[in-house]
Amino acid sequence: MKAKPQIVKAGPRSQAIDPLLQGAITPAGTPSPEAVQKAGAACVRRLPAYLQLLRVLQGEGHEHVSGTVLASTHNLEPVIVRKDLAVTGISGTPRLGFRVTELIAAIEAFLGWNNQTKAVLVGVGNLGTALLGYRGFENLGLRIAGAFDSDPKLIGTWVQGRHVQSMPKLPPFARRLGITLGVLTVPVAAAQEAADLMVRAGILGIWNFTPVKLQIPDGVVVQKEDLAEGLAVLSHRLRHSRS
């Protein structure tokens, strides 16, 4: 969760001051690199929820939205929302709030969701098929461009409109299309092997839906999406909500 810093950090606050003063009012939708750096994980995780609501409001014709409104619909404190939105570099106006379209553009740009990133999916089983069929990804800057599996019965078939290819085809495919993102939905026993192949294919980010902690070289980012985590929290809260 917390990457161990290789370098001994020198001045904690020394050079963090001047980029803030500069302001660098970037054209809407271009977050300053400094701001991006200091965005905490907790903040990043909330941004998609704002985005989801902002798109709804945009569809309803709203031009402005206040942090207060964003907060109340998500059961958050308005202060948190304003702090989160600050990392995108967008400023609101008193009594009105933030411009909806501007905010959407800024959050998308911050997350890199303004251009669709192509990805490959490995493991066209129960979960893989569901993800292939999920149309919501286009709102999240993701497009699954290729599907791969080791099952001879699956290879060559079409699933959710995608051609399922054999595993050896993965590296050339990824290299040819310049794909750097991989979605991993194979069984537990095959997870490490499939991840290794992804790395050899030049994948730099793995979205790991298996409950396996992958052994991966530095430079490759792994995001583990473990259902058990959420269920654990739910179970725990259920057991102690009434007491």
Partner DNA sequence: TATATATCGATATATAGTTCTCGATAGATG
Partner DNA sequence: CATCTATCGAGAACTATATATCGATATATA
| Footprint (CB under 6 A) of ligand NAD, residues 45-84 | none
Q: How far is the CB of 30 from DNA (least distance, A)?
A: 16
Question: Under rule CB under 7 A, how many of the chain's residues touch DNA?
Answer: 30
8 CA to centre of own chain = 29
**Contact pick of 78, 141, 171, 202 for a copy of itself (by CB under 8 A):** 141
Cβ proximity to ligand NAD: between 67 and 123 the closer is 123
Angle formed by the axes of helices 191-200 and 170-177, nearest 10°: 40
**Please, what's the b/e burial string for 22-48 (b: 16 or more CB within 10 A of its CB; e: otherwise)?**
eeeeeeebebbeebbeebeeebeebbe
How far, in Å, CA of 181 to CA of 135, rounded?
18
* Residue ranges in 8-27 that form contacts with DNA under rule CB under 7 A: 10, 12
Cβ proximity to DNA: between 22 and 157 the closer is 22
**Contact pick of 146, 149, 181, 182 for ligand NAD (by CB under 6 A):** 149
Residue 155, φ and ψ in degrees, nearest 5? -60, 130
Near a copy of itself by CB under 8 A, which window of 57-65, 145-153, 161-169, 180-188? 180-188
**Contact pick of 27, 95, 158, 188 for a copy of itself (by CB under 8 A):** 188
* Residue ranges in 82-121 that form contacts with DNA under rule CB under 7 A: 82-83, 85-86, 91-98
**Contact pick of 91, 134, 163, 169 for a copy of itself (by CB under 8 A):** 134
Cα atoms in the Cβ-side hemisphere of radius 13 Å centred on 54: 25
List CB contacts of 124: < 8 A, sequence separation 6 or more: 132, 147, 148, 149, 151, 154, 159, 164, 185
